[in-house]
């Protein structure tokens, strides 16, 4: 799998596209099942913000920031830097512009 190197706001980052297996593992980890109180049916919720953050961490091979790449480190970044990292990661994983706006 080919790695993609970029510079975002002066920081060097290296990504790889995520695999189908990684995506499935992330979805299983973040899915929350609940019973609909009206229908009694089990429903599944996926938080789009958790999904996008997990995608970034699964795809991020390295960065030059002081902390090791992790959900905590990503969520502690300044918002503009984090949003640009997420947008870049979504682009290399073929997430459309419309889908990016939804997450």
Cα distances (angstroms) measured from residue 24 to each of 30, 63, 65:
10, 24, 28
Arithmetic mean of pLDDT, 31-40: 93
> What is the pLDDT at residue 97?
56
What are the tokens at 72? 């905590």
What SS3 state is found at 87? helix
Distance from chain centroid for Cα 15: 12
Arithmetic mean of pLDDT, 14-35: 93
Domain membership of residue 34 as a residue range? 4-102
> What is the pLDDT at residue 85?
96
Q: Into how many domains does the chain fold? A: 1
Between 82 and 95, residue with greater pLDDT: 82
> What is the pLDDT at residue 94?
84
> What is the pLDDT at residue 1?
66
Quickly state the pLDDT bin for 54 (edges 50, 70, 90): very high
Cα distances (angstroms) measured from residue 17 to each of 32, 69, 76:
25, 16, 23
CA–CA dist 84, 98 (Å, integer)? 16
């Amino acid at each position: 799998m080919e790695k993609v190197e970029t510079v975002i706001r002066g920081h060097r980052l290296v990504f790889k596209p995520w695999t189908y297996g990684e995506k499935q593992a992330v979805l299983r980890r973040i899915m929350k099942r609940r019973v609909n109180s009206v229908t009694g049916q089990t429903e599944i919720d996926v938080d789009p913000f958790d999904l996008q953050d997990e995608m970034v961490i699964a795809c991020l091979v390295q960065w030059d920031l002081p902390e090791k790449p992790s959900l905590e480190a990503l969520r502690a970044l300044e918002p503009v830097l984090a949003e640009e990292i997420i947008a870049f990661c979504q682009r290399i994983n073929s997430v459309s512009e419309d889908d990016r706006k939804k997450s």
